[in-house]
Amino acid sequence: MESFKTDVEGKISFVYQPMEHEAEKASNSYLMSLFAVMVGLPIPIINLIATFIFWINNKKGTYFVRWHCMHALLSQFSLLSVNSISFYWSISVIFYSTPMSNAWIAWIMTAIIFNLAEIAITIQAAIKTRKGQHVYWTFFGPLTDIIVKP
Partner 1 sequence: MKKLLPQLVLIISSFLVIWFLLSKIDWIRIFKIEERSDRMEEKLGELLWSTIESQEVVIEDSSAQSTLNTIKERICNSNHIKPELIKIHLVQTDEVNAFAMPGNHIIINSGLISETDSASELAGVIAHEIAHIQKDHVFQKLIREVGLTILLSAAGGKQGGQVALQILKHLSSSAYDRNMEREADELAVTFLANANIDPEALASFFEKLNQIKGTINIPYWISSHPDLEDRINDVKRDAKSKKVEIKPLLSEEQWNYLKELSNSAYNEE
Q: Which residues bind partner 1 (CB under 8 A)?
A: 9-10, 78, 82, 94-97, 100-103, 105-107, 109-110, 113-114, 138-139, 142-143, 146
Could you give the residue ranges of the DSSP H alpha helices within 58-139? 63-95, 102-130
Give the nearer residue to partner 1 in terms of CB position, either 1 or 95.
Answer: 95
Q: Shortest Cβ distance from residue 139 to partner 1 (Å)?
A: 4
Q: Shortest Cβ distance from residue 21 to partner 1 (Å)?
A: 31
137 vs 4, 45, 144, CA distance in Å?
Answer: 17, 22, 10
Give the nearer residue to partner 1 in terms of CB position, either 60 or 99.
Answer: 99
- Give the chain's length: 150
In DSSP terms, 14 is beta-bridged to 4
Q: Shortest Cβ distance from residue 53 to partner 1 (Å)?
A: 25
Give the nearer residue to partner 1 in terms of CB position, either 78 or 133.
Answer: 78
Give me the numbers of helices (H) and strands (E) for the chain, helices first please: 5, 2
